[in-house]
């Protein structure tokens, strides 16, 4: 819990080293126009994470149906000491998709003299608040916040005396098809450099009912998270989506090994976005997100193809989730 006084919090936020390379309204407008113009309508999932979307995702992480967060946190809590010993002293810890920066504290507490913490996230407001909390709670730690799409090109600060350890939690790697995930991992292997490491959370294949409950909970929080994409278009682009006329759907495709998330139109309707009008048929869907699931051997092969060697893999007792410690190949 962040218990610094509001005035001190504002001072921390103002002094924070924050680089803002995040998407602009024109980027969002162009993506929505392009995505709704095709035969199969879609909006890129990276636009789910504005300030409101990030707040909703934090709520999702606490839902009883949503096992990934608590399961991954349990794995990290049990094995943080082993991870720290494998990483060594003075590491620069780089978190991809920092969110609320909760899990990373388990690593910061276990690492020997971490030299710096670099938080990367696409939501500037959420990122700044989370990085300020880390700075307040770890006063001797150099903290840098980078608002960016971490799949795009930008420079990391020099790692200093120790190696880089990238932390990519939350099974976010599953938001990309395997080929894109391989290419993304390869990009980060080059960015991190030889001798660096990546710690990545990977969700595992499991029973359909468990997966579909996780992505369509009984309280409707995951539905609100998906529908916030349309609400964001209304707020930022002057769109006129009727949120009551769309329904969140999450279905597991067992053959492909992915949960497919859509917003289904409940009637024939139109919506205006930035002066352009788009028609939706009754039952037509907007693709919002996929979440790919892996077998352990499948992900090991993907990591090898991307330029890594698998050092260790940890799972929970029920084999719901996995955490992979990877070495960037020399």
Which domains, and CATH codes, for the chain? 6-17+72-206+296-328 (3.40.50.150), 25-63+224-292 (no CATH)
pTM of the model: 0.88
Instruction: Count the residues in the chain.
Output: 330
* Residue 310 pLDDT: 97
Query: What is the helix (H) or strand (E) element at residue 38, kind and residue range?
Result: none
Which CA distances in Å does 293 have to 47, 143, 320?
Answer: 22, 32, 10
Tokens 């916030």 identify what position?
A: 228
Residues of the chain with pLDDT > 90, as a percent, come to: 76
CA atoms within 13 A on the CB side of 320: 19
Residues of the chain with pLDDT > 70, as a percent, come to: 91
Query: What is the helix (H) or strand (E) element at residue 309, kind and residue range?
Result: strand 308-315
What average pLDDT does the segment 86-103 reach? 86
Please write the tens of the pLDDT for every residue from 51-90.
Answer: 899 899 989 999 999 999 999 999 999 999 999 999 999 9
Q: How far from the centroid of its chain's Cα atoms is residue 224's Cα? A: 17
What average pLDDT does the segment 130-146 reach? 90
Which region among 39-53, 147-161, 200-214 has the lowest average model confidence (pLDDT)?
A: 147-161
Query: What is the helix (H) or strand (E) element at residue 6, kind and residue range?
Result: helix 6-15
């Amino acid at each position: 819990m962040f218990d610094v006084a509001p005035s001190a919090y504002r001072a921390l936020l103002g002094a924070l080293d924050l680089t803002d390379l995040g998407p602009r309204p024109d980027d969002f407008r162009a993506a929505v126009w392009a995505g709704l113009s095709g035969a199969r309508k879609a909006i890129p999932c990276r636009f789910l994470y504005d300030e409101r979307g990030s707040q909703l995702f934090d709520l999702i992480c606490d839902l009883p149906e949503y096992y990934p967060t608590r399961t991954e946190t349990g794995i990290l809590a049990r094995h943080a000491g082993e991870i720290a010993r494998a990483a060594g002293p003075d590491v620069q810890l780089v978190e991809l998709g920092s969110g609320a920066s909760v899990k990373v504290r388990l690593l910061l507490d276990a690492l020997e003299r971490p030299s710096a913490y670099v938080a990367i996230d696409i939501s500037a407001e959420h990122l700044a608040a989370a990085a300020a909390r880390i700075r307040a709670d770890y006063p001797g730690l150099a903290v840098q916040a980078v608002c960016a799409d971490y799949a795009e090109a930008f420079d990391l600060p020099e790692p200093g005396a120790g190696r880089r350890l990238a932390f990519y939690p939350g099974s976010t790697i599953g938001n990309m098809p395997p080929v894109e995930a391989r290419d993304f991992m390869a990009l980060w292997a080059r960015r991190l450099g030889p001798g660096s490491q990546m710690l990545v959370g990977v969700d595992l294949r499991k029973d359909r009912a468990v997966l579909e409950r996780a992505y369509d909970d009984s309280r409707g929080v995951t539905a609100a998270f998906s529908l916030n994409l349309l609400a964001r278009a209304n707020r930022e682009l002057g769109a006129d989506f009727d949120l009551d006329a769309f329904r969140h759907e999450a279905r597991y495709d067992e053959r492909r090994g992915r949960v497919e998330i859509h917003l289904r139109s409940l009637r024939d309707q139109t919506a205006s976005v930035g002066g352009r009008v788009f028609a939706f048929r009754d039952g037509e869907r907007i693709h919002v997100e996929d979440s790919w699931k892996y077998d352990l051997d499948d992900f090991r092969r993907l990591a090898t193809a991307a330029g890594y060697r698998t050092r260790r893999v940890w799972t929970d007792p029920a084999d719901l989730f996995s955490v992979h410690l990877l070495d960037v190949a020399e």
